[in-house]
Amino acid sequence: MTTATQEPAAQGTGTVTIGGDLTVRRIGYGAMRLTGPRVWGDYPDRARAVGVLRAAVERGVNLIDTADVYGPHTNEELIREALHPYPDDLVIATKGGFVRGGPDYADLGAVGNRNYLRQAAHMSARRLGQDHIDLYYLHTPAMTDVPFEDIVGTLADMRRSGLIRHIGLSNVSADQLRTALAITDIAAVTVQYNVAVRENAAVRRLADEAGIVFSPWHPGELPGEGDGDLFHAVIGPIAAAHHATPRQIALAWQLHLAPRTLPIPGTTSIRHLQENIDAGHIHLDADEAEAITTLIPEEH
């Protein structure tokens, strides 16, 4: 329980509204890591995994990102076990259409078949214990022989039927996002984007122009040794000035970029969870943000 004087830590982070009616705080939680090795099977310490999910919600996180392929299925089942019955304001975003032939990362594929996707959304809702999915992402448009326009049409039908409330797209190009926006309403887009990985900058900019939520994955990731020297030379002093970690600065930078950016950092640690939430309270000034943005030239 929280009171007015003990509000959850995430409440100061500001909010974004998904699809015009689902308002969530700007630091979400990505649950993918709460699975077995290589995102296959159950997380080995179930009590810890349940504890991290409950801590996230207790501390004010109200957007959780998952997918049917995480486990597969075990991640959605875990979320239900940890959090059902859900708080009214909790939004669970899940994804479908991406499949794995086994624990080896090499066995990856995708299915764009209309009935497969509808069945996948029904099964995600069943596993999550919900009668519909608030935000349903197509996990990837790659590796399927179904035309992208047809898949978007299927998602639009799923929304019209009430099976899903809002449509999201994951791992799309800017051209694909533009194509989809011409077909139907898209509420959110999620792609890899962080201080070191900028290939999807055009998607971020288009999402901003279109007024839709941009949810970067691996949002706080920093480059490792070697390549990381330049980043740490720039981000290190900014972190010191804010009494923050470099990773927190990387998240604060995401929030600075656009008002509808919704990072979904993942962690298996409550201490890291708290640090990630606290990053939402860090306000970079324009010069600090620019110094990080210009570390890598972004294509226009």
Residues that bind ligand NAP in the complex, under the rule CB under 6 A: 30-33, 65, 170-171, 190, 217-221, 247, 264-269, 272, 275-276
Residue with tokens 């996180």: 61
**Least distance (Å) between residue 170 CB and ligand NAP:** 4
Residue 145 identity? D
> Which two three-digit tokens encode residue 78?
């875990």
Nearer to ligand NAP, 154 or 200 (CB): 200
Residue 23 in contact with residue 56, Cβ under 8 Å? no
Q: Which of 35, 134, 24, 127 is nearest to 81 (CA)?
A: 127
d(CA 143, CA 165): 26
**Least distance (Å) between residue 48 CB and ligand NAP:** 10
Residue 56 identity? A
Nearer to ligand NAP, 124 or 170 (CB): 170
Residue in the shown chain whose Cβ atom is closest to ligand NAP:
266
**Least distance (Å) between residue 12 CB and ligand NAP:** 17
Nearer to ligand NAP, 191 or 289 (CB): 191
Residue 24 identity? V
Helix or strand (DSSP H, E) at 234 = helix 228-241
Answer yes or no: 70 catalytic: yes
Nearer to ligand NAP, 19 or 265 (CB): 265
Residue of 70, 136, 137, 193 with catalytic role: 70
**Least distance (Å) between residue 169 CB and ligand NAP:** 10
Strand pairing class (98-100; 91-96): unpaired
Residues belonging to the active site: 70
